[in-house]
Structure formats: structure tokens, C-alpha cells
Amino acid sequence: MKWDEFFVTGDPLIYGADVSIVLTMVGILFYLTKFKKWKWLWDEWLTTVDHKKLGIMYIVSAVLMMFRGGVDALLMRAQLAVPEANFLDSQHYNEIFTTHGTIMIIFMAMPFLIGLINVVVPLQIGARDVAYPYLNAVSFWTFFIGAMLFNISFVIGGSPSAGWTSYMPLASNELSPGPGQNYYLLGLQIAGIGTLLTGINFLVTILKMRAPGMTLFRMPMFTWSSLVTMVIIIFAFPILTVALVLMTFDRLFGSHFFTLQGEGMDMLWANLFWLWGHPEVYIVILPAFGMFSEIISTFSKKTLFGYKAMIWSMLLIAGYSFLVWVHHFFTMGSGAVVNSVFSITTMAIGIPTGVKIFNWLFTMYRGRIEFTTPMLWSLGFIVNFVVGGVTGVMLAMAAADYQYHNTYFLVSHFHYVLIAGTVFACFAGLIFWYPKMFGYKLNERIGKWVFWIFTIGFNVCFMPQYFLGLDGMPRRVYTYSEESGWGPLNMVSTIGGFMMGIAFVILVYNIYYSFRFAKRETTGDAWNGRTLEWSTPSPMPPFYNFAKIPEVTGLDHFWKQKQAGKVEKLKAEDIKKIHMPSNSGVPFIMASFFFVAGFGMVFDWMWMGIAGMIGVFGTLIYRSFEYDDGYYVSVEEVIETEKISK
């Protein structure tokens, strides 16, 4: 392979990206060296097993990925703004919608939610860390490495271009030659390991590590939604793992699982992909539901309406989510019986979702609503998400879907649910728990500007797409003719897209602004919260979270204590030594070996793939013989920490 095949060449945009990547790298290395931060980086972040720090790293990565995916989106919108534009050629456009979709779902939405779950759930259940802190670090680093592997594709070797769904035979060697599609397979595979481990880790954490008195039906709704999400992850992700392995075999080792030749079944890929893919959309929406529940209840100053109904509807959704996958390929032609069955199951899944919407409305009913920024995002969610849900039910009618399928109508549907659902929740949750993570709130005034610009921009961008879809504009086209008449609405849509981009920039500015100027919190209870995470006395919880594990007596325990004026003061004699897990650099090193292995396989350099895998197994073996039971934080140290932070 010649160097100009290895590096992507010939496009000024890519050269610009090359330059900025190199400059950023040099800048970071320079900063770390100049300010002697290497040791700090290693000790505090790269080797940490603290769920809060891992959570923050997840969120930071997710915001970076949101930027990358957002740039992709704006490039596409720029190309589509006017008919017959020549900004991007078709191959380039294909690559961009592929990386946009994959990055936004796998490397933005999931890690953003998992990051917030990491930070919040152990605090909400009164635990000092997750059940398997070391595994948690493995999760983060494999996700991060998978994301990086996927991301370098656009400068080294070329990006995948078969869509985030990677349908066969389009994704086969014949129609997608070169390393691009391999990046998709390996990047997702490595990151998927992390997700699966997170699923197991948090399932066990929530089941086993709750504070005394916190029965299952006293758990906060966000914890419940995380629990259900973890169950779906555990059962859905192995399907993706297997499907990816089979396609990797097809591409690298000449097997015929999904190929056209050799009796392969190309549509079996679509079938397996959506067997995972539909549960996946619930994986990214349920934690969002959980967050909105917390926020709406906090700022309505009322206990969540229909707590049990919420839980049962989530459990129902978890079961149903495995029964609807065919609605993504009604047009494959499995016949009237199959399509009817899956139409009905799909419509049925709308019912528990509707139940939840009503519960939120009733929670607000006669509450004393406080219009903070997180609450604004939650209200915006209810209004906009309903639009996505209603159009979802329209798509669920198989006969009608022959018309809507693969048009902009579908594109608009899933953006209404994913943006107004998941992305709004990520913003709301980030703002809501920001003071817990960093000790100060994000500026509310700027935050409200962000909300309005983003929400209006979102509707300006995606509402026209429903009509474009009804007008017959297909998805994934890189240009269209003047005569089609799609020009004006596309222009409107592009304007909306850029408004969302502007809102994102202001959001990032707000992070900087608040870091400089925001009033620092003095208590741990920035929003007059209801659940345990707000009961840690310091603005940010110390690394062991709770000096004394709370005893829980009911739902919204902390709120009730406050109402009764009975918040316990920590006494020195209550403090016992605390057992904590030790840091470890192994997860980071293991993930680095995964990178080597993945990169080798992407280019079909088997020696490199094997070398990387030997490294991975080496770290696994090393870990098996490592006997580290953690360490104890002494009573004196706890007392001292608590005093400083009081």
C-alpha cells in the first residue's frame, strides 16, 4: 500500500482537518509538558476507577463526538441547501452521512447517557462506587478507543460509506472496497465490548449495592430507567456483536454469511441489525425518560405521578422492544402476515410511551413549576417528542410505510425522537447535574438562550423534512434537481440546522463562561433536590461519595427529610474506615492494544491484528494474577475531607 492510499488525499477539507488534528495534538502535548501535567493526567484520569471521573470522561468524549457529528450534519445541510450543488461529491456525501449516523448514535448518544448514568446512579442509590470499578474503566477505555478508531478513518484509509445500517450487499468487498467499512466493523465491535460490560456492571450495581432501606420500589426513576436499559443492553448487544463478527468474516476471510454469492443471505444482515437496532433506540430513550422524570418532579415540587405505572410501562417497553424490528424493513416483502403482526406490535409499543407522557403531565398538574433551564428542556421534550411519536405510529402502518420508507419523512421522524428525546435529555441532565460534577451551575440566562435557539432551529430544520418526504424526496441522496421543487424547503431546513449549530457553540461558550464567573455552590443541594445524590454535603461528593451510607425510608427520601427538618448531621463518631478500589492503568493499556489489533484488522494486516490481540490477552492474564483487594481510607482522612468540604 502506498502512502497516498494510506492517507486520504486530494480534498482541501481533509487537508484542513489534517492540519487541525496535528495542531491540536501538538498543542495538547505542549500544554501537558509545559505545565508538568503528565503525572496528573495519569494518576487522576487515565488510571482512575472512580465512577464520577469515568462519567465525566464519557461526557467530555460525547460532547466532542457531538461536535464531530454536528460538523458532518452541517456539511450535509450545506450541500442540500440548493439543488444541484457541487460542494460535496456523491462518495464524500455517502461517507459523511455514514459517519454522522454512526457517531451520533454509538459515540455520542450512548456515551452521553452512560456518562450521566455513571455519575448519578451510584449516588442516587447511596453506593460508594459501582459493583466492578475496574471493569467500569475497561468499559470507558474500550468505548473511547473504538470511537477513536472509527474517527481516524476520514484521514487514514477513508471512511465507511454504506450508511450507519451498513446493509449488505452494499457493505461487501465488491461494492465497498478498501478499509472504510472495516473501520465501522472494528470500531463498533471494540466499543460494543465496553457497552456490554457497562450493562452487566450497572445491572449488578443497581441490584446489589443499594443503600439499606432502598427497596426496588423506592429507587429514583432515573435509576429504574437505567436498570431497564441495562437489561436491554445485555440482551441486545450480543446480537450486534455476532452480526459484526459475521460481516467481518465475510469481508476479511471470504465467508458467505451475507454475500450474494455462495448462498449468502444479504437480508439476514438487515434482520440481525434491526434485532439489535430497535432495542438500541430504546436504550437511548429510556435513560432520557428517567432524567425527565427526575427533573419534572424536582421543578414541580411534587412526587412523580404514577411511579409504578412508569415502571411497568418501562418493563413492558423492554419486552416489546424485541418484538418490533421488522418495521424497519416492511418493504423487504416478508408478506402480509409478517407485516401485519409487526405493524400491530409496533403500534402497541406506543401505548406505554403514551402512558409516560400523561404521567409527566399529571406530575406538573397543580405543581409549583419553576422554569429553570433543565425544566425548559423537559417541557420542550414533551411537546416535540409527541410529534416524533405520532409520526412513528404513522410509519408503523406497513401499507403506508411503503410510501414513507426511506424518504425524508422517516429522517424527520427519527430526528424528532432522537433529538427531542435523547439530545434534549442529555442537555437537561448535563445542566441539572452540572453542579454535582463541578460545584457550580451553568449560567441560566445563557442556558435559556441556548434552549430557545436550539429548539426553534430544530423545528425549522426538521419540520420541513416531513413535507419533503411526503413530496417524495428520498433519504441519502447527495443532490436533487431544480424541477423536483424541493429547493425552498431544503433551504429552510439548512437554516434551521445552522441555528442548532449556533446554539451548540453558545452552549460550549456557557461552559467556559460559567467556569470563569458562576457563583460557586456552598451546599450539595443546588436545585432543592429530592434524591440521595443531593444529600452529599459538599458541592461535589468526595471520591468515596458518602462518609456514612444513608438509611432510606421511602421514595424521595432526602426531600422528605428536608420537609420534616430532619436532615442528619454527620458526626465524627459515625465515621468508619472506608474500603475503596485501587486505581489501575491496565484498562487503558488493554484498550490501547485493542486499538493496535483493530487498526491492523482494518487494513487486513494480520500480523498487527494478532500482535494487538496477544497484548489484549496479556493484560487479561496479568489481571487474573493480580491480587488487589483495594485499600482503606482512614477515619482521620474522612473526617478531614468532610471538614474541608463542609
Residues lying near another protein in the complex (CB under 8 A): 128-129, 131, 207, 209, 216, 231, 235, 239, 260, 263, 265-268, 271-272, 275, 319, 322-323, 325-326, 332-338, 578-581, 629-630
Cell of 198: 457497562
Give 128 or 278: the residue with its C-beta nearer to Cu ion.
Answer: 278
Q: How far is CA 424 from CA 67, 186, 419, 618, in A?
A: 15, 30, 6, 42
CA distance linking residue 104 with residue 67, whole number of Å: 10
CB 514 within 8 A of CB 445: no
Indicate whether 350 belongs to the interface with ligand HEM (CB under 6 A).
yes
Q: Name the nearest CA neighbour of 229 among 273, 188, 288.
A: 288
CB 243 within 8 A of CB 269: yes
Q: Which does 580 bind (CB under 5 to 8 A by kind): another protein, Cu ion, ligand HEM, none?
A: another protein
Give 57 or 209: the residue with its C-beta nearer to another protein.
Answer: 209
* Residue showing cell 467500569: 136
When binding is defined by CB under 6 A, the residue of 72, 401, 525, 642 that contacts ligand HEM is 401
Residue 615: CB minimum distance to ligand HEM, A = 35
Longest dimension (CA), the chain: 80
Indicate whether 596 belongs to the interface with ligand HEM (CB under 6 A).
no
CA distance linking residue 254 with residue 248, whole number of Å: 9
Cell of 118: 455513571
Residue 48: CB minimum distance to another protein, A = 16
Indicate whether 68 belongs to the interface with ligand HEM (CB under 6 A).
no
Q: Which does 392 bind (CB under 5 to 8 A by kind): another protein, Cu ion, ligand HEM, none?
A: ligand HEM
When binding is defined by CB under 6 A, the residue of 150, 414, 559, 599 that contacts ligand HEM is 414
Indicate the residue whose CB is closest to ligand HEM: 392
Residue 325: CB minimum distance to another protein, A = 8
Indicate whether 466 belongs to the interface with ligand HEM (CB under 6 A).
no
Cell of 370: 419553576
Burial (CB count <10 Å: 0-12, 13-18, 19+), residue 572: exposed
Task: Name which of residues 262 to 321 contact Cu ion (CB under 5 A).
Answer: 278
Residue 494: CB minimum distance to another protein, A = 38
Any idea of the CA torsion for 198, 276, 268, 390, to the nearest 10 degrees?
-160
Give 512 or 627: the residue with its C-beta nearer to another protein.
Answer: 627
| Binding piece for ligand HEM, criterion CB under 6 A, among 415-423, 448-456, 545-553, 558-566 | 415-423
Q: Which does 285 bind (CB under 5 to 8 A by kind): Cu ion, ligand HEM, another protein, none?
A: ligand HEM
CA distance linking residue 293 with residue 303, whole number of Å: 10
Residue 170: CB minimum distance to ligand HEM, A = 14
Give 22 or 175: the residue with its C-beta nearer to another protein.
Answer: 175
Continuous segment of H or E residues that includes residue 632: strand 631-633
Cell of 137: 474503566
- What DSSP letter does each residue of 215-255 carry, written as one string? -GGGS-HHHHHHHHHHHHHHHHHHHHHHHHHHHHHHHHH--
Q: Which does 441 bind (CB under 5 to 8 A by kind): Cu ion, ligand HEM, another protein, none?
A: none
Residue 377: CB minimum distance to Cu ion, A = 24
Cell of 386: 409527541
CA distance linking residue 421 with residue 409, whole number of Å: 18
3-class SS of residue 416? helix
CB 160 within 8 A of CB 181: yes
CA distance linking residue 372 with residue 208, whole number of Å: 34
Indicate whether 556 belongs to the interface with ligand HEM (CB under 6 A).
no
Q: Name the nearest CA neighbour of 302 among 221, 364, 257.
A: 364
Q: Name the nearest CA neighbour of 359 among 453, 274, 296.
A: 296
Q: Which does 396 bind (CB under 5 to 8 A by kind): another protein, ligand HEM, Cu ion, none?
A: ligand HEM
Residue 473: CB minimum distance to ligand HEM, A = 14
Task: Name which of residues 352 to 371 contact ligand HEM (CB under 6 A).
Answer: 353
CA distance linking residue 480 with residue 468, whole number of Å: 12
Residues 301-340, one symbol each (x = binds ligand HEM by CB under 6 A, - = not), give --------------------------xx------------
Which residues face 407 on adjacent strands?
Answer: 474
Give 579 or 646: the residue with its C-beta nearer to another protein.
Answer: 579
Residues 262-281, one symbol each (x = binds ligand HEM by CB under 6 A, - = not), give -------------------x
Which residues of this protein are in contact with Cu ion, per CB under 5 A? 278
- Which positions touch ligand HEM (CB under 6 A)? 165, 281, 284-285, 327-328, 346, 349-350, 353, 389, 392-393, 395-396, 401, 404-405, 410, 413-414, 417-418, 421-422
